[in-house]
């Protein structure tokens, strides 16, 4: 792959977006190159000008979604003052992202077999963000002391299943308020935080 002109970059982007749509809709295996290129409105052969293989475009998608969801979460979290509030804002952003990009879940689940490295990378990058914030809050005495890594994975687990249950399965665009409120209470307790507000 050489230097891309504006046209080339546009075509590549069209393919990437089509791949996200098709993978999310049909899953990795039923998502054929033919279907992806059709959805992108280009010929079959064009795919291989920009990607080495079906797996490579998949890996790139995982990385892309990972970056985007983390960005959305940290950006939202920045608006909070206490750690608990920041975590809750992060959850809110995660749920919104899930609603807008169900591809995140659907692609990640597939990654278990399609690309275990990508799966691992995704989760590890997500925890990294958590761990530093949690450790600081522990040192500051804001939340309960303990191993921040275990706590981080626990929080991710909560987000993952609650998001699956009330966003993905409901096909809903937002988390029902009573569920989110209950989640806030559970979160504050799990963190061992005094309260949401300082």
Partner DNA sequence: CGTAGACCTGAATCGGGTCTCAGGTTTGAG
Partner DNA sequence: CTCAAACCTGAGACCCGATTCAGGTCTACG
Residue 49 binds which entry of DNA, a copy of itself, none, CB below 5-8 Å type-dependent: DNA
Distance CA 84, CA 186 (A): 11
Binding part of the chain for DNA, among 35-43, 67-75, 114-122, 143-151 by CB under 7 A, reads 35-43
Q: Which of 21, 27, 49, 109 binds DNA (CB under 7 A)?
A: 49
Q: Which does 8 bind (CB under 5 to 8 A by kind): DNA, a copy of itself, none?
A: DNA
CA-to-CA dists, residue 116 to 25, 55, 119, angstroms: 20, 11, 5
Can residue 169 be called a binding residue for a copy of itself (CB under 8 A)?
Answer: yes
Identify the residue among 18, 31, 138, 151 touching DNA (CB under 7 A).
31
- For every residue of 146-195, DSSP letters joined together read S-HHHHHHHHHHHHHHHHIIIIITTT-SS--HHHHHHHHHHHHHHHT-S-
Residue count, binding to DNA (CB under 7 A): 25
Residue 60: which residues within 8 A CB-CB, separation 6 or more?
16, 51
Closer of 75 and 117 to a copy of itself (Cβ): 117
Residues lying near DNA in the complex (CB under 7 A) are found at 2-8, 10-11, 31-35, 42-49, 53-55
């Amino acid at each position: 792959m050489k230097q891309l002109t504006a046209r080339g970059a546009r075509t590549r982007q069209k393919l990437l977006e089509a791949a996200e749509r098709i993978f999310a809709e049909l899953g990795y295996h039923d998502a054929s190159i033919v279907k992806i290129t059709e959805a992108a409105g280009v010929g079959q052969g064009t795919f291989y000008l920009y990607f080495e293989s079906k797996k490579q475009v998949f890996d790139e998608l995982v990385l892309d979604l990972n970056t985007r969801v983390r960005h959305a979460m940290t950006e939202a979290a920045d608006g909070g003052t206490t750690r608990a509030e920041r975590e809750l804002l992060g959850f809110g952003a995660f749920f919104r992202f899930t609603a807008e990009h169900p591809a995140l879940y659907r692609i990640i689940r597939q990654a278990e077999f399609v690309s275990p490295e990508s799966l691992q990378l995704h989760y590890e990058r997500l925890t990294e963000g958590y761990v530093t914030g949690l450790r600081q809050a522990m040192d500051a005495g804001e939340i309960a002391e303990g191993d921040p890594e275990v706590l981080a994975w626990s929080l991710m687990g909560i987000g993952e299943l609650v998001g699956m249950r009330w966003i993905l399965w409901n096909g809903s665009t937002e988390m029902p308020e009573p569920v989110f409120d209950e989640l806030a209470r559970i979160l504050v307790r799990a963190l061992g935080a005094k309260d949401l507000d300082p």
